[in-house]
A and B are shown apart, each in its own frame.
Chain A
Amino acid sequence: MSLKSLLGLIAAVTLVAACGGGGGSSSGGGAPDGGGNGGDPRLSGGQTTIFNATSEAFEQPAPNLSAAQQAKHAAGDARFDVQFVSAGNDVHPGLGPIFNADSCGACHIKNGRGRPVDDSGQTTEQIQIRASLPTADGDSAPYPLQNFGLQLQTDATFGVTPEVKVKIQYQSIDGQYSDGEPYTLVAPHYIFEQPYVPLPADFEYSPRVAPPVFGRGLLEAIPPERLEQLADPMDANGDGISGEIQRVTNMETGATGVIGRFGHKAGQPTIRQQVASAYQDDMGVTNPARPEESSNGQNQDDMRTDDPEISEEILEQTAFYIATLAVPARRDVDNPQVRRGEALFTTSISAGGLGCAACHTQTLRTASGAPLEALLSVSFPDDGPNPLADQVVHPYTDLLLHDMGPGLADGRAQSKANGQEWRTPPLWGVGLTDVTNGHTRFLHDGRARSLAEAILWHGGEAEAAKEAFRTLPKADREAVIRFLQSL
C-alpha cells in the first residue's frame, strides 16, 4: 500500500468519526445503549455506516476497516461470489450433489433480500424450505426427515435428482382500514411436487427467504447482558410483549444453550456457523465446520472422499466478509413526514403510537475489548482497532423471539422458538429493498408485497400494534411507511 493510500484511509476514518456518529462518544439518557438515537440518526451502523443509496448499498466494506481488514474483506467478497460447479471440474468444484443455489450471491442477490417465487409460481433459489418431523415445543432441535434432512434441496448436479420441487399459490385475504380503505393480503400455500422419494405425511416445514446479510458483525457483537436485559419471557412488565432469547447448540464446540442470533428463528449462534451451514445445506459445499455433505446418509450421498471441499481460509474469509459489510445510512431523517412516522413507530400504544419499538429496538451498543473478542466468530487483523467495537447502532431489532400469531405461524418448532415465534428482523436498510433487489417482498417467507402488508400480517404480541396501524388516519399510515422507507 502506498503512503498516499494510507493517508486516504486515515482521512476517511477521521472524517466519519468527525461526523459524530457511533463510537464511544454518544451518551446520555442513562440507557445502556447511550440513550435514544444517540449521535447522528443517519449512522445506522455507527462508524460502519456507508452513504450509498444505490443498488450497491449493501455491498460496501465498512469504512472504518484497517488496510489488512480491508484486504481480508475483499478476499471474502470474492469468495462470496464464487459460483461452484460439480465435483470433478477444474474451477471451483464442490457443488452438490443436492443444493439450492450455486453461490452465496445467488440467494443473497446484491447482498439483499430474496423474492420467493418466479413468474410461474415456482420457488426461486432465494427461498429455502426447512423441514423436520414433529417435535414437542421446547428445547429440542428439529428432528430431520429421513432421506431429506433438515432442508429440502430443490436442485441437483447432473445425474442426481432434486429432492423436491416447490410451488407457491397465494390466496387473497381482503381487509379494510378503519377509514374504509380496502386492502388485500395474500397467504402462501406450498405445493410439493416430484419428491425423489415420498415425503412423510406429517412433516413440518418452514419457508425462509434469504435476508440481507450486512450488519451481521454488529449484531454478533451485542453483549448477551443487553439481550438478557431486553428479554421478558414471562411478560413481567405486563406490556403484552414477551421477548425470549433463543438458545441453540454451537455445532463446532458442542456447547449448548448458546444465544441464537441469526436466521428467522435465530437458529444460528454465530456468523461462522451460519456461513458454514449455508455452504453445506444451501450449496452442498462441505467445509471444516460442516464437513459432511447434506446428503450424507441419504439415498443420494455422493460417496466421495473429497471433503471438506473448501478450506478453513475460505470459510473464514467469507464469514469475515459478512461481518464487516457496511450498514447503509438512513435518508431523509429531517423530513417532517418521516419524523411523524418515526414518532408513531417509537411511541407506545398507550401514548398514542404503534409501539413498534417494543420489539424493533432502535439502538444497541456493541461490546468492546475482551468481551467483544469473546463474542466474535471471525478473527480481525490487528493493524487497526476492531471496527465493530463500541458502536452505537440502529438495527431496529432486539434479536429476541416473539409470538407473531397464527397468521404468520409455520407450526414448526426450532429449539426455544415454537411454531408461532420468530426473531425480530432488523429493519435497517429495509427502505432500499426496491433499489437493491427490484422488489418489495417482506417477512420470513416474502408473502408481504409491501411494507404496509408486512405490518398488517403482524399478530400475536404485535396484534395491538397492527391494529393501531390499521386504525390510523391515512396520512399517519403513510408517514409510518415513509419512515420505514428512510431506514
Chain B
Amino acid sequence: MIPRAFAPARTALLLATAAIGLSACGGGSGGGDSSSEALTSFDAAALLENTADQVIYGIYQNMAEQANEMEAAVQTLVATPTAANVEQAREQWRDTRKFWERSEAFLYGPVTSNGYDPRIDSWPLDVSAMESFIAQGNITQATIDSADNNVRGFHTAEYLLWNDSNDANNVDDPQNGQDTAANVAAKLASSADRRDYLLQVVIDIRQTAEKLADAWDPSKDNFGDLLKTAGAQGNTTFSSQSSAVEQVIIGMRAIANEVGTGKIADPFNTGDSLSVESKHSFNSRADFKNNIRGIKHIYLGDFPFQSDGGADGVGVTDYVQALGATTADQAFKTQIDFAIDQIDEIDQPFRDSINGTPAQKQEIQNAIDAVLRLRDMINNDVLPLLNKTDFAQ
C-alpha cells in the first residue's frame, strides 16, 4: 500500500500541476474543447485488454501463487523451526512481496475499494499490540480476520521472520545489524503462540492475494472488463477509452510520485530510520525497484517481461508511438531502466544509508532525482497525448 509512515504525497508536485493545467483547456478527462491541432485516431481496445488480462491479472496471479508457496514454507517452518526453514520462508516472503510491489503501479479498483491494500500492507505496525496478541495466545484465523490491519499483513510477517532489527537485544550480527535466522528460529521454537501467529498471518496474506487475483480473473469477478469495455453504454466507471487509458497512466504516475516524494524521500529527509518500511528485512530497496518495474510492466504491456521470455504485449508504449512521440517513448523506456539502476546504487541497508556518508546520501538523492524525472516525463510527455487523441470509444 501507499506506506503511511512516510509522506505518501499522492500530490503531484509542480510539474504535475503544469501538465494538469495544460489538460484543463481540453481533452484529458472529458475535456471537450475543440483544438486547432489535428487529432490522431487510436483504438485502445487491445491496450486495455492486454493491460487488464495479461499484465494486471498476471501480476496478481503470480502474487497469489507465490503467497501459496510462502504459506507452504511457513507451514514447514512452524512444524520445524530451524534456521534453514527461516531462510526459506524469508525467501518466499520476498518472492511474494516482489509482485505486490509491482502491483502498486495499478492501485485502483478492488485493491482499494475492497480494502485489500491496507489489509495486506499496513505500515507502521502496532508492535506492542502484536506482542500482546502473542502473549494472549489462542490465535486462530478468526483472530486475524477480526484484527486491525496494523497487526496483520506483509510487515507483520516480516517482523516475525526477521525480528525487530532496531532492537539491540535481538541483534546478533554486528556486520549488518540484522537478527540471524537462528535467533528467529529459536524465538519461534520457544513459543507456539508466536508460530500460530506467523502462520495465521501468512494464511491471511495468501487469502487476500487470491481475492485480488479473482477480482481481475476474466473468468471470475473480471474487474478488468470495466477497462476493456470503456466507453460502452452503461459503463459508468470508464465512460470513454480516454478515461480508461488515463487511469492506466495515472496509476504509473502515482507510484512514481510516491517512490520519489514519499517512500525514499521522507525517511531520507527526516533521517528517521524507525519509519522506514521493510526495515527489518532490509527489503526497502527491492520494494522501490519493484515499484518501478511495475511501471515498466504497464508501460511495455509485458508480463513477464519480453526479455524474460514473455510475449510482446500491447502497452502504453504502443499508444505513445502511435501518437508519433517516438523520441519521448524511447526516452521514457531508457529512464525506467536508469531509475532502477540508480535505486540499485543505494547502499544497503537503506535504513542506515539515509544517515550514512555524504556519498551514500548522494546515491539516495540520485535515485530520487531519477524517479521524479520519470514522473515528470509521464506528466509532460505521456499524459498530454490524451488531448491529441481521437479514441475509438
Contact = CB atoms under 8 A, between A and B. Distances in A.
B148 A102 contact: yes
Interface string B31-75: 111000000000000000000000000000000000000000000
B262 interface: yes
A39 interface: no
Contacts of B125: 85, 89
Interface residues of A, number: 73
A330 interface: yes
A77 B11 contact: yes
B21 A16 contact: yes
Contact of A437 (B12, B113, B166, B243): B113
Interface residues of B, number: 68
Contacts of B7: 74-75, 77-78
Contact of A78 (B8, B28, B243): B8
Interface string A99-121: 00011011001100000000000
A63 B11 contact: no
A434 interface: yes
Interface in B220-260: 236-239, 243, 246-247, 250-251, 254
A12 B17 contact: yes
Contacts of B284: none
B31 A42 contact: yes
Interface string B176-212: 0000000000000000000000000000000000000
Nearest to B30: A331
Find the residue from A56, A83, A105, A331 having the highest chain B CB count within 10 A: A83
B321 interface: no
Contacts of B243: 53-54, 435
A464 B179 CA distance: 70
B337 interface: no
Interface in B253-297: 254, 261-262, 266, 274-275
Given A52-B29, A155-B148, A438-B109, A13 B21 contact: yes
Given A15-B22, A51-B24, A438-B109, A56 B10 contact: yes
A16 B124 CA distance: 39
Contact of B126 (A65, A75, A158, A330): A158
A352 interface: no
Nearest to B125: A85
Given A74-B13, A159-B132, A92 B18 contact: no
B133 interface: yes
Interface string A466-487: 0000000000000000000110
27 contacts: A5-B13, A8-B15, A11-B21, A12-B17, A12-B18, A15-B24, A51-B20, A51-B29, A52-B250, A53-B30, A53-B239, A56-B10, A75-B7, A77-B8, A83-B150, A85-B129, A89-B128, A90-B124, A91-B274, A91-B275, A95-B126, A110-B112, A158-B126, A328-B29, A329-B31, A334-B32, A435-B238
Given A81-B10, A438-B109, 15 more contacts: A9-B17, A12-B18, A15-B25, A19-B33, A55-B112, A57-B29, A73-B11, A81-B4, A86-B128, A89-B125, A105-B4, A328-B29, A330-B30, A331-B29, A438-B110
